[in-house]
Amino acid sequence: MDYRQIYEEWMKNPYFDGETRKELADIAGDDKEIRERFYADLEFGTAGLRGIIGAGINRMNIYVVRRATQGLADYIKKQGGENKGVAIAYDSRRMSPEFSMEAALTLAANGIKAYRFESLRPTPELSFAVRHLGCIAGINVTASHNPPEYNGYKVYWEDGAQITPPHDTGIMDCVKAITDLSTCKTMDQAEAEQAGLLVTIGSGVDDAYIAELKKLVLHQDSIDAFGKDIRIVFTPLHGTGNLPARRILKEIGFENVYVVPEQELPDGEFPTVSYPNPEAEEAFTLALALAKEKDADLVLATDPDADRLGVYVKDGQSGSYIPLTGNMSGCLLAEYEISQRKAITGSLPEDGALIKTIVTSNLADEIAKGYGIRLIEVLTGFKYIGQQILSFEQSGKGTYLFGFEESYGCLIGTHARDKDAIVATMALCEAAAYYKSQGKTLWDAMLDLYEKYGYCLDAIQSVSLKGIEGLEKIREIMETLRKEPPTQIGRYQVLSARDYKADEIRNLATGEVAPTGLPRSNVLYYDLTEDAWLCVRPSGTEPKVKFYYGVKGRSLEDARALSAELGQQVMDMIRKML
């Protein structure tokens, strides 16, 4: 059926509730809107669903959630895992409680026990809960840092990481096999609870999660000595981070934690920001005002599902607050965790590894080299870091020391298998206390890091292209670059071009071709002269194409100038394609 026929089916089929049909009746005269909602199914991708909330097959609604969950249930049964159960969490977004309940009831109707959190919880706790409860899978209803009109549905497997091959394609195939939404099973909530197929979870998992975080503290002595002197401003940006972040900081000994009152409570409308993303400067407006009032040492913001952490640190000399990118905070934490582990134990494991994604700073490479540990590079997406941890466990070879990606996410420890802004909050505050014991601020420690390893600076530009036309334009940009790779970008020559979709690295000087060694993915990467680089990939969660790039300067000022110049040249190159 074409999009009009599917629209008409939704309008007349009594399976769809009256509110849904009224919403569709209101757009009866808008063919473009009907097409946007019904031209294709909302894609169940390698991590699950993400889209605008509304009626239609290309929107997030209870029927699309049921279909995704029915597909997941069918796959779980194929794997013989129906007796293990599924953990379910959700965030503060519009319809998150409703979507999580729909998922739970579909699982229950399929005879699979659903462990659903009593109220909103952060993504890393869901990852922890999957393994803690011995579940076969997990579902998290969240759209992370997307605007308020979005919601999403992430699927995790029994190792606690988001799904990777072969489970991702296996689940996708089961979802695609469902062509009639009315065949998706569901049941009454009271009946599911009475049958023991819907179990509410909460404080027990919270306590176990927090206990695991406490085990990761390296310098309780520094916290005991200076925790009462460190002033911390924190904002959960109306999301899930408020209670767990405050709890862990209080329990390990930080007394001066000031929460931004306007952003403290959960609110899916995100009324104080247009975009609840700790990568955005706007997200820190209220927090920085509070920081100046309280003379804070550091300012922290978690995104709505609390897997990403944004950071500002105080410069002790100027008194100003300096933003740390995800690369900067990730490298700062990597250096702290690895150096102090070595200092405390006297050595590092011979098979120790630092893991990063292909769009993450080359400063991570230098840190790994400095400590003589293995640097592992994976595709973008924290699930690939989780996949490496699982491989270490299964093979008995490899010790996870730290992992992070540029998008403000890292994982300390292996209690979870997704990025964890709660443990990052704890560790950064601990690091602040430790460096204070050395007479330094976190910004001093960052400058020391640059002096030690080199002034690697990284940035990102993106172009948003919404709708069907936008998706086509993104495809055109990728194909143009794929067929005609640049040989020069500003002052830099392109040394090699990596095409992860074709699984090849081409040396532009010799023409020699080698495999990338990573799974196929729609990503292009250019190694440039002077230790610079550029990577291009469509976003997996938003309608945009992203351009990541890095430079290496002689000083911080030099690196900043080079980064600004390369960023401008990249955008000039892309504008010619638009």
Catalytic residues: 144
Question: Which residues pair with residue 62 across a beta bridge?
Answer: none
State the DSSP code for 162: B
Burial class from Cβ neighbours inside 10 Å (0-12, 13-18, 19+) for residue 42 reads buried
Q: How far apart are CA 202 and CA 206, in angstroms?
A: 6
Q: How far apart are CA 227 and CA 269, in angstroms?
A: 34
Q: How far apart are CA 313 and CA 320, in angstroms?
A: 8
Q: How far apart are CA 61 and CA 40, in angstroms?
A: 15
Please, which residues have CB within 8 angstroms of residue 401's CB and are 6 or more apart in sequence?
A: 337, 338, 341, 348, 349, 352, 353, 354, 373
| Phi, psi for residue 378 in degrees, rounded to 5 | -130, 170
Q: Confirm if 161 and 124 have CB atoms less than 8 A apart.
A: no
Q: Confirm if 304 and 91 have CB atoms less than 8 A apart.
A: yes
Going by C-alpha positions, the residue among 235, 418, 419 that lies closest to residue 312 is: 235
Q: How far apart are CA 441 and CA 448, in angstroms?
A: 11
Alpha helices in 28-95 (DSSP H): 31-38, 62-78
